[in-house]
């Protein structure tokens, strides 16, 4: 297996994982928005049960938002290592343009990680705010205070 094959595996593996995490984030967020819009707070006699239902999948969204940049960074570091390794195998003069091209392409994994993390973090914060508001509404309905 050549160095280019390994680079492709790293690239497609990291970008593929980030794409899967992005789809998961979107699916969880859509499910939560629909759930929050249809919830009937009167069906919850207990605050803890309400909190459990409201927080479902929010931990996964937060985890994706916090780990996606690191996954992207791992892809970038691996691509840079592979670039330097392939340069070390060359017996000819170093082609600066080729090096710059490979290093620039290595950064795409970090960019992809940020493209997943930023929306995931924003969605998590929006959903947590909505969950907190629903808990406050439940408390008002049930005459209890924090």
pLDDT at 145: 56
What percent of the chain shows pLDDT beyond 70? 98
3-state SS track over 33-97: HHHHHHCCHHHCCCHHHHHHHHHCCHHHHHHHHHHHHHHHHHHHHHHHHHHHHHHHHCCCCCCHH
Residue 43 has pLDDT above 90, yes or no: yes
pTM of the model: 0.86
Residue 143, classed as helix, strand or coil, is coil
**Domain map of the chain by residue range?**
3-141
Average pLDDT over every residue of 116-137? 97
Determine contact, residues 127/58, Cβ cutoff 8 Å: yes
């Amino acid at each position: 297996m050549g160095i280019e094959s390994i680079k492709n595996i790293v690239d497609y593996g990291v970008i593929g994982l980030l794409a899967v995490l992005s789809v998961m984030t979107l699916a969880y967020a859509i499910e939560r928005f629909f759930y929050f819009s249809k919830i009937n707070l009167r069906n919850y006699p207990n605050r803890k049960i309400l909190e459990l239902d409201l927080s479902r999948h929010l931990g996964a969204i937060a985890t994706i938002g916090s780990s996606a940049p690191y996954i992207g960074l791992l892809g970038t570091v691996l691509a840079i290592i592979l670039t330097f390794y392939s340069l070390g195998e060359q017996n000819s003069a170093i082609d600066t343009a080729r090096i710059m091209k490979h290093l620039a392409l290595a950064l795409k994994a970090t960019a992809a990680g940020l493209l997943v993390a930023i929306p995931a973090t924003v969605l998590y914060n929006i959903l947590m705010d909505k969950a907190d508001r629903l808990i406050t509404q439940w408390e008002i309905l049930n005459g209890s205070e924090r």
